[in-house]
Structure 1
Amino acid sequence: MTIAARFAAIIEGLCRAVAARGAKGAFGPASQPLVILLWSRLRRMAARFAILAEGAPKPRPRARRAGPRKRVRGPDLPRRRAWLLAPVPEATAAASQLRALLDDPQARALIAADPRFARLLRPLCRALFRRPPAIPAPPAPARPAAPRHRAVPATAAPHAAAAPPATPPLFHPPPAIA
């Protein structure tokens, strides 16, 4: 079984557990939006993982839009560590399976080869683990090198004859009245 198929199976089991517990009200009285958001993000995560595992090309840089963008914010998932374990006890099984998957040498090599895997897995690990497994951080973006000053050759004579540019006087006297 491939790494992507194992990940998809883990996400499938987690989606079933989330849907079953959400139907029973495990996420609170108005839990439907949260369950739908979590379920859709998990599905999207599994699909994205499969695409990346197949060797998706790097995305092309997009042109930036002028002006501020208005972002419509809907409900968001909690951000604290292991938040999914309390309302969905079945998530502990998914967490142990995910940890075993991430300890696999093939999975480690796959994740280390492409930083997009780390960005994809980090929110899931935060939701399932109190102490998430070590996922390599993406490399820092390359910045252009700072311009260096040109070195003056030792054989060149300093320009002692050149006078500094004349500075205008700070105070101008008033014109003489005749």
Structure 2
Amino acid sequence: MNLAARFAAILHALCAAVARRGANGAFVGETSRPGSAFADPHAMTVLLWSRLQRAIARFARLAAGAPPPRPRKPPARPARARSAPDLPRRRGWLLAPVPEATAAASQLRAFLAEPETRALIAAEPRLGRILRPLCRTLGILLPAPQSCPRRPRAPGTPAAADPPTRPHRPARTGPHPRPPRRPRAPPAPA
């Protein structure tokens, strides 16, 4: 089985688990968190499922040797603010609501550790853009080649000044006695 088909098999199993658990209300806890933009937990299920399906298609396209992207013109108007809700960004957030995701994470970790996969990712760095959010969702730490490379500074841009630091205190020698604790006052009678 080629790399794209193996990646697709891992993610199809994850999609099935997400759909099954999402239909049973697994994402209710995620949507009720403070700051969540989802009013309906099923909307989160659909968004996650569609992102996983898109990742499968993008991985297959890049593994087959997609041409490099054409340079884009800068947009004529400023970008609009995001109005659509986004998925959580905590590392490994999917493992709690979808316990089957641990199996997918284990399979993906083994898939990424294989020399053939590492060679493909080294040859096609755009795969990192697909793998980084997926690995963060599953709690997988990426090896160094898949990490995002640092962008070079634009010519003529001065280096940022070092942030101010606190003055250095010399280390004390000997025991460090703690100041005595003040007793707390008893609560006032009501």
Is the Cα–Cα contact under 8 Å of residues 33 and 75 in structure 1 kept in the other structure?
A: no
1:58 to 58, 63, 68: 68
Deviation at 1:102, TM superposition (A): 0.3
Please report the RMSD computed on the Cα atoms of aligned residues, expressed in angstroms: 1.7
2:50 pairs with one of 19, 35, 40 = 40
Gaps of 5+ in 1: 147-178
Match of 1:19 in 2: 19
Residues 1:58 and 1:142: Cα distance change in structure 2 (over 3 Å): farther
Aligned mates of 2:90, 2:150 — CA distance in 1 = 25
Shift of 1:143: 5.8
Q: Which residue of 2 aligns with 1:6?
A: 6
1:133 aligned partner: 142
Give unpaired runs (5+ residues) of structure 2: 32-39, 157-190
Q: Structure 1 residues 138 and 58, CA, compared in 2 at 3 Å: closer, same or farther?
A: farther
Aligned residues: 145
Q: Offset of 1:70 from its aligned partner? A: 1.4
Paired amino acid for 1:36:
V
**Preserved contact between residue 26 and residue 88 of structure 1 (Cα < 8 Å):** yes
Name the aligned partner's letter for residue 6 of structure 2.
R
Alignment partners' CA distance in 1, 2:142 and 2:44: 26
Query: Secondary structure of the residue that 1:84 maps to in structure 2?
Result: helix
Deviations 1:40-75 (CA, angstroms, capped at 9, x unpaired): 000000000000000111101100112312134211
What's 1:122 paired with?
A: 132
Could you list the structure 1 runs, at least 4 aligned residues long, displaced by more than 3 angstroms after superposition: 138-146
Residue in structure 1 matched with residue 118 of structure 2 by the alignment: 108
Partner of 2:135, secondary structure, is helix
Q: State percent identity of aligned pairs.
A: 60
Q: Cα–Cα, structure 1 residues 65 and 86, in superposed 2: closer, same or farther, change >3 Å?
A: same
Larger radius of gyration: 1
Provide the rounded CA distance (Å) in 1 between the counterparts of 2:98 and 2:107.
15
* 2:48 match: secondary structure: helix
Contact 1:118–1:135, Cα closer than 8 Å, also in 2: no
* SS at 2:96 equivalent: coil
SS at match of 1:115: coil
